Amino acid sequence: MTFKKLATTALVASVALTALHASDLKGRGASFPGPVYKAWTSAYFTATGKKVNYTPTGSGDGIKSIKKRMVDFAGSDKPLKPKKLAKNKLYMFPTVVGSIVLAYNIDGVKDGELKLSRAAIDAIFTGKASFWDDAIITKDNAGLKLPHEAITTCVRADKSGTTFNFTYFLNKIDEAIKVSKKPTWKATKVVAGKSNSGVSANIQQIKGSIGYIEYSYKTKLNLPAAQVENKEGHFINPTVPSFQDAAKYASWTAEKDFYAVIGDPAGATSYPIVAATFLLLPAEKTATNKEVTAFMEWAYTNGDKAAADLGYVPLPKATKDAIRGYWETKKIN
């Protein structure tokens, strides 16, 4: 074969390969659902041969990317209100419910042994409590030897839906704390990390630290996490049943593009820091949107076990059916 023919063959192969990869769905955004999206996209490729790429860069980046049409879809733990969706010509629906835990690294304190009241959590993240043996913390932990050690709070460096939902919970305790994707923290010692994985790594490495992360990151790294006082005054361990109890209080409607914030739900057995995560789609990209909803239909039908195994709460059937109706109304299924 001549060099010219070889070059032509290589060019054709290159174009074919480029066309193949061009059809892959590309998404980015919230790191909160990163582990379950990784499980779903891998299983979806095995089942269908269709590739979905999702990069967990943070909700702020996801929203920015979809507004600029840099990706086919975006993930966000901060739901966008209907007016903002309309302004940016976006559709939105939830995919799964997860939880935010307060993981810590304190010598001698095992998983679930630390109890944190609402007042103690407020004190830690506002700097009112600087040491682990502060009275506001020790009063609920009589059986623990908490050290006179400075508290290091591990927070997000990026604009984060996890932070939005955690500050939503903090705002229910202390109205002076603003709900934000990237607040100015007033804690005594603050270390920031990018995405849930970055915060988790900081907690793992820094003695005397505490931080807010999605539950599956806690389980993956075997980090201890606190019992948290819910709005009815009960200390609740972060467990899948307690997340399920909390998720029952979600109220979504297709008319509002499923806008809802679940944080700090009612219920004596509800874990108090839970959140839904959402997908955002560009309204004008009907063909690509149908590919995304096909993937999510597969996940809703086949992905509940993978979600539950990772500590997420699958959406109830009624919510999934409402989302399917939303897709039909928007002509994207």
Q: Would you say residue 310 has pLDDT above 70?
A: yes
Asked, for residue 202, whether it belongs to a domain, the answer is yes
- pLDDT class for 251, splitting at 50, 70, 90? confident
Q: What is the dihedral of CA 327, 329, 330, 333, to 10 degrees?
A: 40
Residue 69 and residue 84 share a domain: yes
Residue 235 and residue 118 share a domain: yes
The whole-number pLDDT of residue 18 equals 34
Residue 159 and residue 138 share a domain: yes
Higher pLDDT, 330 or 13: 330
Q: How far apart are CA 214 and CA 225, in angstroms?
A: 11
Whole-prediction pTM = 0.87
The whole-number pLDDT of residue 23 equals 65
Higher pLDDT, 21 or 99: 99
DSSP state, 182?
A: S
Q: What is the CATH number of the domain that holds 223?
A: 3.40.190.10
Q: Would you say residue 63 has pLDDT above 60?
A: yes
Residue 179 and residue 90 share a domain: no
As a whole number, the mean pLDDT across the chain is 92
Residue 129 and residue 222 share a domain: yes
Q: How far apart are CA 20 and CA 246, in angstroms?
A: 43
pLDDT in tens, 192-235: 999 999 999 999 999 999 999 999 999 999 999 999 999 999 99
How much is the average pLDDT of 27-39? 96
> Among residues of the chain, what percentage have pLDDT more than 90?
90
Token couple for 87: 């302004």
The whole-number pLDDT of residue 263 equals 87
Residue 226 and residue 147 share a domain: yes
Residue 113 and residue 234 share a domain: yes
Boundaries of domain holding 297: 25-98+249-265+275-330
Q: How far is CA 283 from CA 190, 254, 259, 291, in A?
A: 40, 15, 17, 13
Burial class (CB in 10 A: 0-12, 13-18, 19+), 51: middle
How much is the average pLDDT of 158-172? 95
What is the secondary structure of 17-50 as a DSSP string? HHHHHHTSEEEEE-STTHHHHHHHHHHHHHHHS-
Q: Which residue has the tokens 């603050």?
A: 190
Asked, for residue 76, whether it belongs to a domain, the answer is yes
The whole-number pLDDT of residue 11 equals 40
CB under 8 A, 24+ apart: contacts of 304-310? 306/36, 306/39, 306/40, 306/43, 307/36, 307/39, 307/40, 307/96, 308/240, 310/35, 310/36, 310/39, 310/216, 310/219
Residue 130 and residue 33 share a domain: no
Asked, for residue 2, whether it belongs to a domain, the answer is no
Burial class (CB in 10 A: 0-12, 13-18, 19+), 99: buried
Residue 156 and residue 82 share a domain: no
How much is the average pLDDT of 23-35? 93
Q: Would you say residue 14 has pLDDT above 90?
A: no
Token couple for 178: 């603003």
The whole-number pLDDT of residue 20 equals 38
The whole-number pLDDT of residue 277 equals 96
Asked, for residue 14, whether it belongs to a domain, the answer is no
pLDDT in tens, 88-137: 999 999 999 999 999 999 999 999 999 999 999 999 999 999 999 999 99
Asked, for residue 9, whether it belongs to a domain, the answer is no
